[in-house]
Amino acid sequence: MIIEDSAIRVRSFTRSFLNAFKGVSYCIRNERNMRIHLTIAAYVLVFSIFYNLTSFEYAILFIIIGLVLAAEAVNTAVEAIVNLNIECYNKLARVAKDVSAGAVLICAVFAVAVGFELFFKIEILQKITRFLYSDLFFGVIFIISIPLSLVFIFCYPFKLKHLRRIRIGR
């Protein structure tokens, strides 16, 4: 009996993580702003290597990134709940959506402020630029990453059925 209860708890615990990952996946697939935040976070983390940040500075950076992503996820949840319960225009529904979007904006503005404090150092920005110009491999990777990031932000998720139609039509 104890073993069965433990197995049920483990399955329930595992299921809760799977559901949480489904929620994150939903945000990435359906929210352009989440993809923007993820892309910026990726660039920030990659270029942070040049700054010799302390453990404390990295902790602040991860907390800020987490706050922005979490705020975007909560905003998505609020919008979904409002859309679920409202069939026509409602002023309070608009207020709920605007306030949740405002919370994301507040987090993003403070993230930019932290970013300026940590990363706006002209000599290191020049060092990064020189590195990207002098190291052909990383320079090309960076240049290629820009359009790929834009495709991820504006075109993801890719509509496979459209690709199938194109192949069939040929």
From the candidates 4, 31, 57, 72, give the one annotated as an active-site residue. Answer: 72
Concerning whether 72 is annotated as a catalytic residue, the answer is yes
Residue bearing tokens 């404390």: 56
68-71 LR contacts (CB < 8 Å, sep 24+): 68/37, 68/41, 68/104, 68/107, 68/108, 68/111, 69/34, 69/37, 69/38, 69/41, 71/103, 71/104, 71/106, 71/107, 71/108
The residues annotated as belonging to the active site are 72
